[in-house]
Amino acid sequence: MKSKKIIYLISGLIILLLFYLVFLASSSFRVNSYSPTLNNITTITPYIDIYFSKTISQSDLSISSPENIVSKSIIESPKDIRVYLIYPLNDSQKYKIILNKIVSTTGSVINLKTVSFTPLYKNPNSIPKSQIKYIVSHQDKPTAQIYGTTLVNLLPYISPGFSFTINYNIVNNTPTIIITSATSSGVSAAKSWIVNQGYTISSLNIEVVNQQPV
């Protein structure tokens, strides 16, 4: 009889402990998710949404990156911080974003949390439409403002109809301009765009990838 009471007591304590752990998990201030997920960030992802378990306070918001890829951070919605990136990124490099200090409206704090990822090289059709829209809306500048700069400063470029993309890769400090298009007319349009920015095709190292953006 005594042993049964002990078993009941132990079972009750275990149940209480489980309830307590569930309560702690539901009440703690933490990162819930990322959009895009960290294994789906691309070389031209313009921003990452970080979703938290509690409403975020406007005060003491501090986010940085050792590689200086963070342009700015804003509270997009009560539980979402949008981190804007300086892209394009290198698909062979691991990057870090440091959540130096994030405070909830209830006073909970996240300090020095590291978010790490290695971007993928993907073409536009695999990137969320909202991010494509952001890239397109921020890439069109008057030629007078960009003439004379290096071409890589204007990239990546995505044509409005998605018929081609222009990106680049740098090996041994030498840039290779990468044109991706499934059609010869798309490749021609990409080269015309480059010429319209004030560059000569023959002076550039250009690689053509004949495929539809995946």
> Coil, strand or helix: which one is 122?
coil
User: At residue 143, does pLDDT exceed 50?
Assistant: no
Tokens of residue 136, six digits:
């397109």
Mean pLDDT, range 23-46, rounded to an integer:
83
Domain boundaries for CATH 2.60.40.1220 within the chain: 29-117
Q: Which fold has domain 29-117?
A: Immunoglobulin-like (2.60.40)
Mean pLDDT, range 32-48, rounded to an integer:
92
User: At residue 205, does pLDDT exceed 80?
Assistant: yes
Mean pLDDT, range 152-176, rounded to an integer:
78
pLDDT band at residue 170, thresholds of 50, 70 and 90? low
CA distance 130 to 124: 11
Least confident interval from 39-48, 74-83, 92-101, 156-165: 156-165
Contacts of 168 (CB under 8 A, 6+ apart): 88, 151, 152, 155, 156, 175, 176, 177, 178
HSE, side-chain direction, 13 A CA sphere, residue 9: 6
User: At residue 142, does pLDDT exceed 70?
Assistant: no
